[in-house]
Amino acid sequence: MVTELQKGTGKGGAVRRIRYLPLETTMPEGGPGGLVEVTIRTIAAMLLCRPSERLNQRILGVMGRALALYPVALHAFVFMSNHWHALLTTPDGETLARFVQHVNSNVAKAIKEETGWTG
């Protein structure tokens, strides 16, 4: 069950909605240690992750660093032009959140540096 919160207003007075899953549904069936699928999309589905040799290497570096920092088993991942997927096993929800936050923030920095995009 996905729940929506209204948080402030965006441009033109539009209400910004935040979707989240209640805590009891955020861990895989069977509790910690289960397989988790993560899907993350770029802002407004913009094609910010267009492949290039340099960006690909930076993404691999970010993933490697995240794996060194957090006890996560990464089984597979793919980055596409406007989103990425990963299959991983994590001991708990907090580790999952910290791992994904690390990857997202550092990939965003790499994209900004490689493309000059600001937003």
Arithmetic mean of pLDDT, 46-51: 69
Amino acid (one-letter) located at 66: A
User: Does residue 6 sit within a domain?
Assistant: no
- pLDDT at residue 57, as a whole number: 92
> In this structure, is residue 54 part of a structural domain?
yes
CATH, residue 85? 3.30.70.1290
Residue 13 domain-assigned (yes or no): no
Contact, 87 vs 27, CB < 8 A?
no
Mean pLDDT across 7-16: 49
108 domain-assigned: yes
Residue 7 counted as domain residue: no
Token look-up 């991983």 returns 88
Structural domain count of the chain: 1
Token duo for residue 3: 């729940």
- Predicted local confidence at residue 18, as pLDDT: 47
Cα distance between residue 44 and residue 119, in whole Å: 11
Report, as an integer, the average pLDDT of 53-78: 92
Is the residue at 12 inside a domain?
no
Per the structure, the complete domain to which residue 77 belongs is given by 28-115
Q: Is residue 111 part of a domain?
A: yes
Q: Which residue has the higher pLDDT, 5 or 62?
A: 62
Q: Which residue has the tokens 């895989």?
A: 28
Residue 52 clears pLDDT 90, i.e. is over it: no
